[in-house]
Amino acid sequence: MREAIGAGVSLMLDMNAPYDLPDCIAFARAVEPLDIFWLEEPLHWYLQPADFVRHAQATRIPLAHGERELTRFTVRDFIASGAIRYVQFDATRAAGFTEALRIAQLAEQHGVMIAPHTAPELHAHLVAAFPRCSYGVESHGDAARDPASHGLYRERAEVREGHVHLSDRPGFGIEIDWDFVKRHRA
């Protein structure tokens, strides 16, 4: 992949929690020469912040984690311990936007970058509020790739050419398409 995209492009590995600690350290050391930007959720979901700290000490590739965490209390130790350099919480999973704001404040206090997981219509506001400690917002892409997310809103933030464009509407600037919701209700 590195050869295909070249040296000037950030290569991030979204790993989905496949490794125990020794195997992940071995993997990270093997790919270090490829200039990897981060390893996202590299360790099994049940491993603790101390395991992430040991991993972070064993390799120079930064760790990103947090999309599966549900509150600021579960993510606090990952941030405060120095286990991760990027926290990827998700307000749609993590007790809402107010909780995400608290996590972003905690991250800022510890020099950890925020890189929220999906929902750019919500998280781009948070990234804009913390410009010195934010990296960006993950997105699932266009309507062909994520028709449910795109059909849910009449108006929303737009992602164009890698940039999120917020509207000037009040609140999050979104309008739910209730007809779409009714058609797809289970």
Q: Which DSSP symbol is given to 129?
A: H
| Domain 2-142 class, CATH top level | alpha beta
Q: Strand, helix or coil at 133?
A: coil
Surface-to-core class of residue 179, CB atoms within 10 Å of its CB (0-12 exposed, 13-18 middle, 19+ buried): exposed
pLDDT means over runs of 10, the chain (186 residues): 94 95 98 97 95 97 94 93 95 89 94 91 87 76 81 84 84 92 90
Domain range summary for the chain, segments of one domain joined by +: 2-142
pLDDT for 13: 96
pLDDT for 55: 98
